[in-house]
Amino acid sequence: EYKDKVPVNTFATDVGGSATNTAVGVSRLGLKVGLSAVHGDDAMGMFVRKKLRDEHVDDRRIEEEKGGQTNTSVILVHESERTILPYYVPRTYKLSELPKARWMYLTTGGKGFEATYASILHQADANKSNLVVNAGPYQLRHGRAKVLSLIRESHLFISNKEEMQMAVGRRIEDDADLLREVRELTPGLILMTDGERGAFSFDGEKIMHIDPFPHKTVEKTGAGDAFTAGFLTAMISGGSVSDALRAGSINAASVIQHVGAQTGLLTKKELSLTLEKHKTFKPHQL
């Protein structure tokens, strides 16, 4: 009931957020990764910074806002489903100069983040980086036109099914029809995740689908970011789309078996062993 005090069985504090989850996931899988972001100089900010350093994520382009707070979410988990109550600290975002990198991954941000989009496009072009865009519901609700300008230039566009529907501006239920409509927005590869239905990719010719890797479900936070980390790492390492779908699904299944968005992220060795053990786990073409 509203206004009640509801006892809980367990409580945990951890680092989260799409940018940090994906950075840590890619780092554990053996790639060199840096993060550009902002946090406050509060205790949570220091907690985030220490975790990233422990995970070998280059933090030289993470800004610390003096006297500021760090974005924080409360996640309520009940019977493996979760409700997230996010708080985005109001900020005036300014993108620092990024180093040359083969890949640039842009994910969600709070109010005002769209002000950096022009700089992102410029730097991706100047550095000849492959741009990956993962647009969240906030960006698609409040700045859809600007998000679409990034998606049009993306090498890879990643979102869940609901966000893909928001991107095209209408609710298309058929997976193949939706992916073909999204293809009108970008010449790049499309990756669409859909929870317990697995994930789909479309390169303009073939639509591929992979089921979720068999797993027990403890808590689902971070599953999409884990999938992204596995998928991206495989693609960056020269793997096929099929290889990337397998890696993403296995990494996501591992995270779902733990509390928190990063605890179950696999190392390169752990992922390799699982891939080798389950050679028959593969996507199929629709």
Query: What's the pLDDT band for 234 if we cut at 50, 70, 90?
Result: very high
Instruction: With cut-offs at 50, 70 and 90, classify the pLDDT of residue 255.
Output: very high
Burial profile 268-286: b = 16 or more Cβ within 10 angstroms, e = fewer: eebbeebbeeeeebebeee
In this prediction, residue 114 carries a pLDDT of 78
- What's the token pair of residue 284? 């199929």
Backbone φ and ψ for 102, nearest 5 degrees, come out as: -65, -30
For 98-102, what is the mean pLDDT? 90
Percent of the chain with pLDDT over 90: 76
CA distances from 280 to 164, 210, 211, 248, 283 (A): 29, 12, 12, 15, 9
Measured distance CA(150)–CA(135) in Å, rounded: 10
pLDDT (average), residues 237-250: 98
* Closest among 36, 41, 91 to 66, alpha carbons compared: 41
Residue 123 host element (H or E): helix 117-126
pLDDT at residue 258, as a whole number? 93
Give the pLDDT score at 29: 98
Mean model confidence pLDDT for the chain: 93
Which pLDDT band holds residue 233 (cuts at 50, 70, 90)?
very high
Mean pLDDT of 94-107: 90
Looking at residue 91, its pLDDT comes to 84
pLDDT of 109 strictly over 80: no
Mean pLDDT of 97-109: 90
Note the pLDDT tens digit of each residue in 123-175: 999 999 999 999 888 888 888 888 999 999 999 999 999 999 999 999 999 99
pLDDT tens column, 26-51: 999 999 999 999 999 999 999 999 99
Cβ neighbours, 10 Å, residue 209 = 18
In this prediction, residue 173 carries a pLDDT of 95
Q: Which residue did the predictor score with more confidence, 154 or 89?
A: 154
Band the pLDDT of 86: cuts 50, 70, 90. Answer: confident
Residues 50/56/60/61 CA torsion (nearest 10 deg): -90
Alpha carbon dihedral 100, 102, 106, 107, in 10-degree steps, equals -130
pLDDT of residue 267: 98
Looking at residue 160, its amino acid is: N
Tell me: pLDDT of 93 over 90: no
The two three-digit tokens of residue 89, written as one number: 């600290």
The share of the chain scoring above pLDDT 70, in percent, equals 100
DSSP state of 99: P
pLDDT, greater one: 161 or 113: 161
Q: pLDDT at position 113, please?
A: 77
Give every CB contact of residue 77 below 8 A, 6+ residues apart in sequence: 219, 221, 259
- Does the pLDDT at position 108 exceed 90? no
* Mean per-residue pLDDT, 240-255: 98
Q: Is 14 helix (H, G, I), strand (E, B) or coil?
A: coil
Give the model's pLDDT for residue 111.
76
